[in-house]
Amino acid sequence: MIELLSSSTLFLLVLLAIGFIAKNQAILIAVYILLGIKLLKLEDKVLPYIEQKGLFIGVVIITVAVLVPIATGDIGFKDLLASVKSYYAWIALISGMFVAYVAKDGLQLLANEPHLTAVLVIGTILAVIFFQGIAVGPLIGAGIAYLLMQIVDNVMKIFT
């Protein structure tokens, strides 16, 4: 049975409650999976693997989902060529490049400062609850945090 008094279980139950209040299925499913792993006492085998490979697997799944319209033929070269005539397409292109660039440093931050993960997740959950956000924020949030940290560090060097 799950140790009901362990801080990790209590934290997961708080996240479960927040996910329920926010009606966020992704958070609910994630917490259910983690509680199930703990209940089955598989955390020593499964959690290190998920921690090491989970982001990569998630990125692959998201990438597959985004590429489905290409695979089905709903989007083709004709559509791509037509869209580059729009300034919205150029804004989207630059935004996509910026987010991918910023997110790469987010992986580094999460690897080097894992304690920040909890704060990033809480920030994401708060945005879901109060601003009807979508819970895809921790990685890009970490990337933005890393970028801002670098800016602050460089500014501080100027003044010290």
Mean pLDDT of the 4-19 span: 85
Mean pLDDT of 99-103: 79
Q: How confident is the model at residue 97 (pLDDT cuts 50, 70, 90)?
A: confident
Q: How far is CA 86 from the centre of its chain?
A: 29
CA 87 vs. chain centroid, Å, equals 28
- Residue-wise pLDDT for 136-157, tens only, equals 666 676 777 777 788 888 999 9
Over residues 80-99, the mean pLDDT reads: 82
CA distance 43 to 33: 11
- Which of residues 98 and 111 earns the better pLDDT score? 98
* Contact predicate 106/145, CB 8 Å: yes
Q: Cα–Cα distance between 136 and 22 in angstroms, integer?
A: 15
